[in-house]
Structure 1
Amino acid sequence: MDFGPFSFLAERKIEVSGKLLETVQLEKGHLIYQPPNRITPIFEIASGAVKIGSYTPDGEEVCYDILRPGDYFGNFQYLNGQFSEFAKSLTPVELRVYDVDFFKQLVTNTPTLAGWFFKVLVSRWCRVEERLFAIRSLTPQEKVRKILPYFQVQILDASGKRFSLREVVTLQDIADLTGLTRQTVSKVMREDIGRMTKSPNGILN
C-alpha cells in the first residue's frame, strides 16, 4: 500500500468516523462533481481513472488532467472560491473520500504526512510545468509522443480489470493536454502508426 493518509491511519489502527473518511465505488461515467459546486470532499483514487476539467461557454468539456491510482483531487479550499471544475470517472473507480477539514488537519499536524503531501504537490506541479513547456516549445509530433507514455501505464479499475489509460482517453483529451486540435492529434498518431508498420523492427524512431 502506498504511503498516504489512508495507510497512515490503517498502520496505526486508528478508527475514523464515516463522516470523516469513507470508501465508495462508482461506475464508469459517473459525474463526481461539476460547476457550480465549489465545496467538495478530498478524493483519493484507490483504483480506476478519473478525468478532471472544466467547460467552455458552449458547454464542451476541456480536460485538465487524467488521474490514476494514488492521485488526489477536489477543492482543498485554499483559493478563496476560485474553483470551477468537473470530475468524472473514466472507468469503474474506488475512491477514498476525506472530509476537507479532517484531511488538512491530519496532514498539517503529522510531520511525515506533511512531507508526503509536499512531495505530492511538487510532483503535480512538475507534471503541469512539463506539459506547458511542451505546448510552448515542441512540434505537434513531439508533443503527442511526449505525452503518450503517460497513458500507456497499466492500472486496475474497481472491477479488477487491467487496462491502459490510452483505452479510456479520447483524442480530444490528448488534444486538450497538448494544446493541439483533435484532428492534428489524429493525424500525428496515424503517421506514427504508419512509420512503425514500415519499420523492420516495428520501433518508432
Structure 2
Amino acid sequence: MSDSQLWFLENINLQFVFCPKKVDRGDLETVDHLSFAAHQYVYLPEEPAQKIYLINGGRIKIGTYGEDGKEITKAILTTGEVFGEMALIGQESRRDFAYALEDTDLCVLEKGDLHKMFRERGELQTYFLQLIGNRTLRLEKRLENLMFKSSRTRITDFLRELIDTRGRKVGYEHEVRNMLTHKEIADLTGTSRQTVNSVLNELRRDEVISFDRKRMLVRDLDRLQ
C-alpha cells in the first residue's frame, strides 16, 4: 500500500497534522481548509510555492506544459495523498499545475509551519523526504519506460504500480478502488486511450483482471507481470 496514501504512517496522523481543527471539531470553515469544484485549478506554474496540501476527499491531477503547449500529466492523486511538497526543498514558484478532477476537499499548511513541525517531530521530516524521493524515482522510471518499453508493457507495468501503491489484498486477489479512466491511464503511460482500452480488454478476456468505473480486481498477479 502507498507510503503516501495512509492517514497514519510511522505514528503520523497526516489528517491531524494538516487539519487539526477539522479533526477536533468537524469545522470546515477554517483557514486550513479549501474546497475546489471539478475542473478548477488549485495552482498554476509560476505561482508562489508557499503551501502544502493534503487531499481530504476528491482527486487532483499534477501536470505541466511542454514547450509546444502540450499538457503532460505527472500524477493523479486521491484521498490521503499530499502534493505541493517541492515547496519544502526550496522551490520558490510552482513548476507544475494542480487541477481538481472532481469536487475536491483540501487541507492546507504553510511551508513555514511545516518546517517548525519538523524540528519537533523528526519522523515527519523523514516522511516528506521519502515522499519526494519516491516520486522522483517513479518519474525517472516512467521516463525510462517511455524510451525502452512497448506501449503494452508500459500499461501493464502501470497496473502493477497501482497494485503496489494503492491496492489491497482481497483473498487471493488484489483490488484497486477509485480506478482511473482509460484516458488518465493513457496520459500517465504515454499511450493512447484506444491502446489502453485494447490492453485492458485483452487482460479481462484472459481473466487476468476485471474492472469497471469504480475499481479494478487483479485475479492473477503473476500473469499481469
Given the two structures, how large is their TM-score scaled by the length of structure 1? 0.71
Change in 2 beyond 3 A, CA 1:194/1:174 = closer
Please list every run of 5 or more consecutive structure 2 residues that lacks an aligned counterpart in the other structure.
1-6, 168-176, 210-222
Contact 1:4-1:116 within 8 A present in 2 as well: no
Aligned-partner Cα distance in 2 for 1:51–1:78: 21
Q: Tell me the alpha carbon deviations over residues 54-101 of structure 1, each in whole angstroms, 9 at most, x when there is no partner.
A: 123454421111112232222515345463211001122111111121
Aligned-partner Cα distance in 2 for 1:49–1:143: 23
Q: Does 1:166 align with 2:177?
A: no
- Offset at 1:32? 0.6
Structure with the bigger RCO (C-alpha within 8 Å, sep 6+) is 1
Aligned-partner Cα distance in 2 for 1:108–1:176: 39
Name the SS for the 2:45 alignment partner. Answer: coil
Residue in structure 2 matched with residue 70 of structure 1 by the alignment? 80
Amino acid at match of 2:100: S
Aligned-partner Cα distance in 2 for 1:23–1:34: 19
Name the SS for the 2:89 alignment partner. Answer: coil
Aligned-partner Cα distance in 2 for 1:44–1:95: 6
Name the SS for the 2:32 alignment partner. Answer: strand
Contact 1:23-1:97 within 8 A present in 2 as well: yes
Q: Does 1:91 align with 2:105?
A: no
- Offset at 1:116? 2.5
Change in 2 beyond 3 A, CA 1:70/1:129 = farther
- Offset at 1:149? 4.8
Name the SS for the 2:46 alignment partner. Answer: coil
Change in 2 beyond 3 A, CA 1:25/1:149 = farther
Q: Report the aligned-residue RMSD.
A: 3.4
Amino acid at match of 1:55: Y
Q: Between the two proteins, what is the percent identity of the paired residues? A: 20
Q: Does 1:104 align with 2:110?
A: no
Residue in structure 2 matched with residue 42 of structure 1 by the alignment? 52
The correspondence for 1:203, drawn from 198, 208, 221, is 208
Please list every run of 5 or more consecutive structure 1 residues that lacks an aligned counterpart in the other structure.
155-162
Amino acid at match of 1:62: I
Q: Which moved more, 1:138-147 or 1:113-122?
A: 113-122
Contact 1:144-1:178 within 8 A present in 2 as well: yes
- Offset at 1:117? 2.3
Q: Does 1:186 align with 2:197?
A: no
Which structure shows the higher strand fraction?
A: 2
Contact 2:62-2:99 within 8 A present in 1 as well: yes
Given the two structures, how large is their TM-score scaled by the length of structure 2? 0.65
Amino acid at match of 1:24: L
Q: Tell me the alpha carbon deviations over residues 17-51 of structure 1, each in whole angstroms, 9 at most, x when there is no partner.
A: x9x96122222112111123133411111222100
Q: Tell me the alpha carbon deviations over residues 129-173 of structure 1, each in whole angstroms, 9 at most, x when there is no partner.
A: 33233223322111011113556858xxxxxxxx62414xx52x4
Name the SS for the 2:87 alignment partner. Answer: coil
Change in 2 beyond 3 A, CA 1:165/1:79 = farther
Aligned-partner Cα distance in 2 for 1:26–1:177: 23
